[in-house]
C-alpha cells in the first residue's frame, strides 16, 4: 500500500475518521440514551487517545529515542521485540 502524501487526501481521511467515530457515538447514544453510556463513551475515547499518544510520542521521545513510529503494527512489533530481548 502506498503512503498518502496528498494534503487534501489526508484531511479527507481525517474527516472520514471523525465522521465514523461521531457516527458510532451517536448510534450508541441513540440505542441507550443515558448519562452512564455517554460517560463510558467519553472515558473510552479519552483512554484510547492517551494510549495512542503513548504509542506515538512517549515511546519515541522518552523511552527509546531510536524508535520511529510507523503505525500500530510497528508498535506491537516493537513491544514484542523488546520483550524477547529482556
Supply the range of the domain harboring residue 61.
34-86
Tell me the pTM.
0.66
Nearest to 73, CA basis, from 55, 58, 85? 55
Tell me the torsion sign for CA atoms 35, 36, 39, 40: negative
Q: Are residues 26 and 60 in the same domain?
A: no
The pLDDT tens digits of the residues spanning 5-50 come to 889 998 999 999 999 999 999 999 999 999 999 999 999 999 999 9
Q: Please tell me whether residues 25 and 52 are part of one structural domain.
A: no
40/82 same-domain check: yes
Q: pLDDT for 42-71, tens place per residue?
A: 999 999 999 888 888 888 888 888 887 777
Indicate if 23 and 59 belong to the same structural domain.
Answer: no
Number of domains in the chain: 2
Same domain, 38 and 74: yes
Residue 24 sits in the same domain as residue 56 = no
Amino acid at each position: 500500500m502506498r503512503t498518502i502524501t496528498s494534503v487534501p487526501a489526508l484531511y479527507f481521511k481525517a474527516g472520514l475518521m471523525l465522521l465514523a467515530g461521531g457516527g458510532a457515538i451517536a448510534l450508541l447514544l441513540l440505542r441507550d440514551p443515558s448519562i452512564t453510556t455517554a460517560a463510558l463513551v467519553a472515558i473510552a475515547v479519552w483512554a484510547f487517545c492517551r494510549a495512542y499518544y503513548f504509542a506515538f510520542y512517549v515511546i519515541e521521545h522518552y523511552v527509546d529515542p531510536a524508535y520511529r513510529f510507523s503505525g500500530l503494527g510497528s508498535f506491537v512489533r516493537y513491544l514484542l521485540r523488546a520483550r524477547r530481548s529482556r
